[in-house]
Structure 1
Amino acid sequence: MEAHEAQSKSFQVVIQDLGEQEGHTFSVDDPELREIIKAGIDRAAGKGYGKGRSRFRDLVFTRQFTTFDRQNPRGAQSPFHGFFTLFWLAMALLLVKIAALNWKNQGSVFGRAEILHLMIDRDLFVLLATDGAMCLSTSLGFLLQKSIANGYLTWDGWGWIIQSVWQVLFTATVIWFSFYREWPWTHTVFIVLHVFVLLMKQHSYGFTNGYLSRVFRRKKLLQEKLGQLESLEPTKSSSPLLSRTSASGADLRRVDTPRHRRRSMGPKFSTDFSSEGSEIALMANAIEAGSPLDASQIQAFTRVIETEMTILNEELRGTSTSPQKAYPHNLTLSDFVDWACLPTLVYEVEYPRQPDINWYYVAEKSAATLGVIWIMIIVSQAYIYPAVMEAVRQRDVLGVPLETRWREFPWLVSDMLFPLLLEQLLAWYVIWECLLNVLAEVTRFADRSFYGEWWNSTSWDQYARDWNRPVHHFLLRHVYHSSISALRLSRLQATFVTFLLSAVVHELLMFCLFKKVRGYLFAMQLAQLPLAALSRTRLLKGRDTLGNVIFWLGLFIGPSVLTALYLVV
């Protein structure tokens, strides 16, 4: 019993309703308690709000580890741990074999190392300087939010326009510069992927704080109305404006009941009482017009406004554990720099943190990052680079007709099947297991659910949710939920918009790499929608093994077919 009480004292639970614009989040330190709270909120949502468009449960920030991390007790005790060991042993033997062949054929264990030379021989320092300039330029979003918080701009005026225009210019400028410098594909992949990451970070920071700025403005307006109420002298006659609402003075005294509170309060972000249809807007207009109010009305109005201000204060506090960190106190340079380094793409006022940094762990994961990148370079050099360069030589140097190149297409696909699958797995591992864990440890970021068990996926929508959770969370909040709340789209329409945006971004990356628009990846991305729908039909529903086989066939064949298409056509 004493141990249980000691553990309970360490629980930290933060629940946040971001309103109609951005959704609802909560965080809790304990995984079991997290599931209990989530289930309770979902049940309450089903009973209290029905099919409302503004109620979403999209994010949970809690302390947890990635599946393959040695700190994860589940990973260390997994019955498949031996296969994990076997995989890396096979990688070591593969590298030995490649080194031996390089020594036999070329007299060097490194071979010709064309890919390594592409990475370091040309414009390496220009690339690093460009990346540094990109990171520094994101501070414009911080300056914009400070201007809004200080009253020089408003988010619903010029604020969101400036933010949106800047995001377009920021992305277009970096992509243009990569074309201007004629960077090799190694540089292009790095800079374009990083610009997309910084774009999403800027968007989440700007639009979350922009929403909070509107909440803050509403709170200030209500503070003014409260001050005006305190200076009013009660009269014997009632305000005629109250006749247009069902809320009498007696009703307003019962504002603490949930049903009446929802009817009295307006949107948390609204700052225009003249167009707002809530009862609190009617009160604000009555106060502004100087309407006669009796003592009971003044008392009821005061109670309603104070209740709403309490709700707004909780909204501004968000996930922070202290009011001193609530908006606008979160708009500091140190907070912005911290946010820029965190391995997440969804901005919150505060996240669960680890108590300290394990620098041995940082060194271990950093070494793993460099080691896996080195393996990827060697595998690409040995198995992918020769096939790619031969396809480019036939197309651009020898001018082989398309009909002839098509006859080589199946052989090109078969040559790249296994190495591209291996490169996919290694690229995923180095980013989501190694690099993000390094950032998480350095920043003491406790929520390390960067991916789910995507290898067990039985449908493509499950894969989309699990293989890259930071991007999935961003799309969920800032595309899917925002499409429903701001554009009034249905859930099906919002799903299509989310996949469409993802498809456009993926095709843009292919355009930057191959310098041409073909739409192959765009089509494959959108094809996930009918495939996801197919997984819910009688043909596949409940047949998990068949669904997983189809998933792995697509992941196995798709990249090599896609790469061959861009090289041949």
Structure 2
Amino acid sequence: MLQNTQAEDIISVKKHTPSIKSTITTTTTSLSATLTYDDELNRLPRKIAKRVVTFQPRSSQLDRETLDSHQYPFRGFFTLFWIAMGFYIIQTGVKNFQSAGILLDLTFFRLFSQDALGLILSDACMVGSMFFAVLLQKAIAHGWIRWRYTGMIIQHIFQITFLFVPIYWTFFKGWPWVQSGFFVLHTISMLMKLHSYSFYNGELSTYVIYLYELKKKYANLIGDSKKNDNEIDEKKEDEKQQILDQLKSKIEQVEGYLHSPAGNIRYPENVTFANYVDFLLVPTLVYELEYPRTEKIRPWYLFEKILATFGTFFLLYVNTETYIIPVLPNVSTSIYNAMVQMLFPFMMNYLLIFYIIFECICNVFAELTCFADRNFYDDWWNSTTWDEFARKWNKPVHHFLLRHVYQSSIESYKLSKRDATFMTFFLSSLIHELVMVVVSKKIRMTSNVRNFIL
């Protein structure tokens, strides 16, 4: 079929990439000419396979519908936990009323509401600056600059600026640990989205050029063979056909890579502001041309998750206000005594924050965007090793590290799987250390980095 439509193939490439021009000289007179990008193209099937299976429709493990429909054996303990939290809050309220005549103090509220408007405006500016990535990718798609290596250098410079300007801003504003922690964590999350979007589309732009070259070479070989039909012997004809078959196979590979798995969108049609806004809203850190979607938004489900968000945050507030703020280390208490008293409250906060982020907030944004893959975590509570826990408790970050750190280290830097695993955990440790520096305003060798050094 390709032999009869070589002219249409070239027109199709020009239609999809009107401004991306090839600068590579090809030899059309030799039937044994080799492909310039064989090394890159030979990795395509493996890359495509890894990215196709990343997302699929599924629900979160602690979702009420999942617990009911699958008769999940953990549902009894899940229900018992919330009953215990109810008793915990009642006991706390009675204790506060008997000792101080109030049900709840507002010390923690005054802490996290400090300079709230400044935090909101700063966060809005940070998110707004991310749209630079769309402008850069549009320039690359129109052929004004190349991704390799001009676009990559510009993107790296922007990412470094994007990370360290907000960090400097937290110190400049002198925010308490709550505001500083939220702002830097949100910045890092958006940085991962920014990186995934830019490098995914940047890589696709290089394959558009490859596709143009492949189709042009295919058409030229067809045209050249027609001119010399009488002069080519049977052996040369077989050699020519073999090369044409190889070209056809590689064209199909690249075409598959440039299309979404469902085939509904093709690069560079996705490089739009609307597509980018959608990516910013979906609860994932890994960019794809297309995600699995639900049919509609369920209002009652959305209301349930929003109500659960505020209800769980209330539990978090009560626990922090009553059992953490009063015993924070100060001149009158030793740090060891404070740590012992805060062990259980901190564990409760960890569970509540996990539930707010991964079960409530992520599901709210997933429902608003009709994002069908709700696998934001696995059964991390059953983990028996640290690496298993790291894979299961935060799937969005795990997916990002898997694709853009682990897989990229193996493909781009030829690291072994062991070295790539080390680099992945080490980078994750550095990010955690950076957050602790911003929150505590001190540089300390926390356990994450110290474990790697020792």
Question: CA, structure 1 residues 491+231, in 2 after alignment: closer, same or farther (shift >3 Å)?
Answer: same
Cα shift at 1:24: 3.2
1:475 corresponds to 2:413? no
Cα separation, 2, equivalents of 1:463 and 1:58: 25
The residue number in structure 1 matching 2:256 is 314
> Alpha-carbon deviations, 1:53-94, whole Å to 9, x = none?
xxx589531111111101215666223322212211111111
Cα separation, 2, equivalents of 1:360 and 1:129: 31
Cα separation, 2, equivalents of 1:195 and 1:337: 16
What amino acid is the match of 1:213?
S
The residue number in structure 2 matching 1:69 is 63
1:326 corresponds to 2:266? yes
Cα shift at 1:223: 3.2
Question: CA, structure 1 residues 252+428, in 2 after alignment: closer, same or farther (shift >3 Å)?
Answer: farther
Cα shift at 1:248: 5.6
- Decide which of 70, 86, 96 is 2:80's aligned counterpart: 86
What amino acid is the match of 1:207?
F
1:455 corresponds to 2:395? no
1:35-434 mapped onto 2 (5 Å cutoff): 59-72=53-66, 77-111=71-105, 113-120=106-113, 122-229=114-221, 232=224, 234-235=227-228, 249-253=237-241, 255=242, 301=244, 303-322=245-264, 325-388=265-328, 391-393=329-331, 408-434=334-360
Question: CA, structure 1 residues 73+409, in 2 after alignment: closer, same or farther (shift >3 Å)?
Answer: closer
CA contact (8 A) 2:281 2:365 kept: yes
Cα shift at 1:481: 0.6
The residue number in structure 2 matching 1:439 is 365
Aligned Cα root-mean-square deviation (Å) = 2.5
What amino acid is the match of 1:341?
L
Cα shift at 1:311: 1.9
CA contact (8 A) 1:369 1:434 kept: yes
Cα separation, 2, equivalents of 1:410 and 1:185: 21
The residue number in structure 1 matching 2:20 is none
Cα separation, 1, equivalents of 2:42 and 2:83: 51
Question: CA, structure 1 residues 231+133, in 2 after alignment: closer, same or farther (shift >3 Å)?
Answer: same
1:520 corresponds to 2:446? yes
Cα separation, 1, equivalents of 2:390 and 2:312: 24
Cα separation, 2, equivalents of 1:477 and 1:341: 20
Cα separation, 1, equivalents of 2:120 and 2:45: 35
What amino acid is the match of 1:372?
T
Cα shift at 1:126: 1.0
1:510 corresponds to 2:452? no
What amino acid is the match of 2:276?
F
CA contact (8 A) 1:23 1:481 kept: no
CA contact (8 A) 1:67 1:75 kept: no
Cα separation, 1, equivalents of 2:202 and 2:416: 24
Cα shift at 1:22: 11
Question: CA, structure 1 residues 383+21, in 2 after alignment: closer, same or farther (shift >3 Å)?
Answer: farther
Highest RCO, 1 vs 2 (Cα 8 Å, sep ≥ 6): 2
What amino acid is the match of 2:322?
A
Question: CA, structure 1 residues 216+470, in 2 after alignment: closer, same or farther (shift >3 Å)?
Answer: same
What amino acid is the match of 2:47?
H
Cα separation, 2, equivalents of 1:20 and 1:307: 13
Cα shift at 1:234: 2.0
CA contact (8 A) 2:433 2:449 kept: no
Cα separation, 2, equivalents of 1:18 and 1:359: 46
Cα shift at 1:104: 2.2
Cα shift at 1:384: 1.1
Comparing 442-451 with 411-420, greater Cα deviation is found at 411-420
Question: CA, structure 1 residues 118+73, in 2 after alignment: closer, same or farther (shift >3 Å)?
Answer: closer
The residue number in structure 2 matching 1:272 is none
Cα separation, 2, equivalents of 1:226 and 1:164: 36
Question: CA, structure 1 residues 423+252, in 2 after alignment: closer, same or farther (shift >3 Å)?
Answer: farther
> Alpha-carbon deviations, 1:486-521, whole Å to 9, x = none?
111111110110011000000000000111111114
Q: For structure 2, which runs of at least 5 residues remain unmatched after alignment?
A: 1-39
1:24 corresponds to 2:35? no
Secondary structure at the residue paired with 1:330? coil
Cα separation, 2, equivalents of 1:106 and 1:423: 24
Identity of aligned residues (%): 37
Question: CA, structure 1 residues 482+248, in 2 after alignment: closer, same or farther (shift >3 Å)?
Answer: farther
Cα separation, 2, equivalents of 1:461 and 1:510: 21
TM-score normalised by structure 2 residue count: 0.85
Question: CA, structure 1 residues 378+73, in 2 after alignment: closer, same or farther (shift >3 Å)?
Answer: closer
Cα shift at 1:167: 0.7
The residue number in structure 1 matching 2:36 is none
CA contact (8 A) 1:61 1:447 kept: yes
Question: CA, structure 1 residues 97+416, in 2 after alignment: closer, same or farther (shift >3 Å)?
Answer: same
Question: CA, structure 1 residues 423+435, in 2 after alignment: closer, same or farther (shift >3 Å)?
Answer: same
> Alpha-carbon deviations, 1:262-312, whole Å to 9, x = none?
xxxxxxxxxxxxxxxxxxxxxxxxxxxxxxxxxxxxxx54x5434322221
What amino acid is the match of 1:200?
M
Cα separation, 1, equivalents of 2:392 and 2:238: 52
Question: CA, structure 1 residues 498+249, in 2 after alignment: closer, same or farther (shift >3 Å)?
Answer: farther
Cα separation, 2, equivalents of 1:412 and 1:86: 29
Secondary structure at the residue paired with 2:54? strand
The residue number in structure 1 matching 2:3 is none
Question: CA, structure 1 residues 369+470, in 2 after alignment: closer, same or farther (shift >3 Å)?
Answer: same
